[in-house]
Amino acid sequence: MEVIWFSKYRIISELGRGGTSVVFLAEHVTLGAYRAIKRISKEHEAYAQLMKEVHILKSLKHPNIPIIYDIEEDEKYSYIIEEYLKGESLKAFRLRLSYLDERSIVDFTFQICDLIQYLHTFHKEILYLDLKPDNILVYKGKLKLLDFGAAVYAEEYKDTSFYMATPGYMAPERLKNLADERSDIYSIGCLLYFLVTGTLYQPSCVSRKWTWILIRNHRFYKLIERCIKVAPSKRFQSVEEVKSYVKKVPRIGEINKESSVMSYCIAIAGSEDRVGVTHIALALTSYVSKINGNSIYVEWNESGFLNEFVTYYPEVKEKDGYWYVKHTRMQSRENWISDSRRSHYRFVIKDYGKLSEANLEEFLHERNRILVIGTKPWEWKRTMFWMDKLCDCESVLYLFNLLDGENQQRIMKNAFCKFCISVPYLKRLFYDSDYQKEKVVFDSVIRYVVSNESSGGDYVFLSGKKNVCGRGR
C-alpha cells in the first residue's frame, strides 16, 4: 500500500534509525525529486535540543551541509525534510580501505576545516561538538555533515540541559560541561587520527610512541598531537591555525600510502619445539590488536594447533571466516592465502613454529624475523646452532624466553651480532594491560620492527635497557 505524507511525499523506504530519530527516503510526488525525511518523536527527552538543530540548519548555507526544504509536524512527531544525499559514511568508507592516501586525507581535512570554520565564524558562533566519521557522508570525494543534533550556539552552551557526544572524539573538557571552538579542534584531531590509522583514538591505550608507529608522516603526527592536547590552551586556538598547518603537509615527502601508513609483517619461529613460539605470537598479536584492531595471527606451520585450539578453548568465536578471542583475530595459512582482505591489516604475525631447513629459506625472506630461543641448559645446543647459522643474516631479533639471571650472562656472551630481548614469564596467553613487564617487552619488539622497516633491514639499536641488546662483537 502506497504511503503519502503531507499530501506530497511518497515514502519509499527506511534509510536508518538512531537514538534520536528515524530517517526515511521519500519522493516528492510533484517534483519527482528524492528527499530524506527525519522523523523525531516529541516525547524524546532531547526533543527541544533536536529542534534547535533544525533552526540552526535552516539558517546555514554551505556546500558541505545538506539543504533543509521543509518542516512538518503532527501530534506525535516533527518531520525535517532534507536534501537526499547518496554515498556512504566516512567511517564505512575508511574501514573499507586498507589505507587512505595522503592527498585524500589532506583534501578531506581541508573540507572539514572549512566547514567547522564556517560554523565558528557564523554571525552567531556555532559549536558542532559531535564531529565523527559516522556523521559525515562521502560521495565522489565530497563530504557532507549530516547530524547537527549536538550543535549549539556558543553563547547558549552553558544553558543547555542535554549534551550529546561520542567517546573517542569528545574533548576532555566536555566532561566538566565546558566547551568552546577548541573542543571542535580536538575532534578534528581525533577524526584525522582515524583517517590516517583506520582506528579510534583511545588515549588510555595509545602511548606517544604508538601514535608515532601508527602515523608515519611527521607532519600528520605533529598536527594530530597538537589538536588532541588535553589542555585547550595547548591546542591550535582556531581552525584557521589548523588549516595553515595542513597546508604544509604535502610539501614534506612523497604523497603515497607508505609515508602515512604501513603494514608490518612479523615472522616468529623457534629454535626447537616447545620454546613458546605460539604463546609469544598470540600474546604479541593480542597486544597490537588492543592498540590497532587491524591485526591478525596466522598459523604459518603444519602443527594443526589452531584447529585444536578453536575446538577446545571455550572463548573462541567464529565470524566472517576468522577465529576470535576477545579482540584477537586468528586464521590458518590456507585461509590467509585465499583471503582477499590481506592488505587490510596493519600487523600480521606469522607463527612459523619450529625453524628447520625446510622453512628456513622462506623465513629468511620475511622482512621482520624473530627467533624464539630456549635458555635451559638442555636447549643450549640448538640455541647456539641457530645463532651460529644466522650470525651473518641481517636483522634477526632474538627472544630469550624465560631467561633467568643465572643463565643470562652465559647466553648473552655468545649473542654477538644480534638483537636480543629477554622475555619474562607471560602470565596470560592474551595480553592484559595490567602486566607492565609484558608491555615493556612487546613495545621493544614493535619498536625494533618499526626501526627495521625504516632502516631498510639494517641493524638498529633498540635501547640501553638491560633486557635489550644492540649489535656487538
Number of Cβ within 10 Å of residue 165's Cβ equals 18
At a CB cut-off of 8 Å and minimum separation 6, what does 177 contact? 158, 163
Q: 418: pLDDT confidence band, cut at 50, 70 and 90?
A: low
Nearest to 154 by CA among 191, 190, 180: 180
Q: What is the 3-state secondary structure (H, E, C) of 173-203?
A: HHHHCCCCHHHHHHHHHHHHHHHHHCCCCCC
> DSSP state, 92?
H
pLDDT tens-digit profile of 30-77?
999 999 999 999 988 878 877 877 888 888 999 999 888 999 999 999
Say how far apart CA 208 and CA 200 lie, in whole Å. Answer: 15
Residue type, 454: S
Joined together, the cell numbers standing for residue 456 give 631498510
Residue type, 374: G
Superfamily name and number for 263-469: P-loop containing nucleotide triphosphate hydrolases (3.40.50.300)
Q: What is the pLDDT of residue 205?
A: 61
Number of Cβ within 10 Å of residue 61's Cβ equals 8
Say how far apart CA 344 and CA 219 lie, in whole Å. Answer: 24
Q: What is the pLDDT of residue 428?
A: 72
Nearest to 206 by CA among 223, 182, 228: 228
Match 557564523 to its residue by C-alpha cell: 122
SS3 category, 103: helix
> DSSP state, 299?
E
R_g of the chain, CA atoms, integer Å: 27
Least confident of 114-123, 414-423, 436-445, 462-471: 462-471
Nearest to 29 by CA among 13, 10, 11, 14: 10
Residue ranges per structural domain of the chain: 4-83, 88-258, 263-469
pLDDT tens-digit profile of 230-285?
999 999 999 999 999 998 775 444 444 444 455 789 999 999 998 889 999 998 99
Tell me if 59 sits within 8 A of 48, measured CB to CB.
Answer: no
Largest CA distance in the chain: 88
Tell me if 278 sits within 8 A of 362, measured CB to CB.
Answer: no
Q: What is the pLDDT of residue 251?
A: 47
Match 572549512 to its residue by C-alpha cell: 114
Q: What is the pLDDT of residue 258?
A: 45
| Angle at which helices 181-197 and 102-120 cross, to 10° | 170
Nearest to 56 by CA among 143, 130, 125, 115: 125
Say how far apart CA 364 and CA 396 lie, in whole Å. Answer: 9
Least confident of 218-232, 245-259, 362-376, 378-392: 245-259
Q: What is the pLDDT of residue 140?
A: 85
Say how far apart CA 105 and CA 313 lie, in whole Å. Answer: 42
- More confident of the two residues 98 and 375: 375
Label residue 235 left, alpha or beta by phi (over 0 means left) and psi (-120 to 50 means alpha): beta
Q: What is the pLDDT of residue 209?
A: 57
Cβ-based burial of 436 (10 A; exposed 0-12, middle 13-18, buried ≥19): exposed
pLDDT tens-digit profile of 191-222?
998 998 888 887 766 555 566 566 666 778 88
Tell me the CATH architecture of domain 88-258: Orthogonal Bundle (1.10)
At a CB cut-off of 8 Å and minimum separation 6, what does 67 contact? 82, 83
Number of Cβ within 10 Å of residue 228's Cβ equals 23
The angle formed by the CA atoms of residues 274, 275 and 281, to the nearest 5 degrees, is: 100
Match 633498540 to its residue by C-alpha cell: 462
Torsion angles phi and psi, residue 27, rounded to 5 = -120, 130
Average pLDDT, the chain: 82
Question: Any idea which fold 4-83 has?
Answer: Phosphorylase Kinase; domain 1 (3.30.200)
Residue type, 257: K
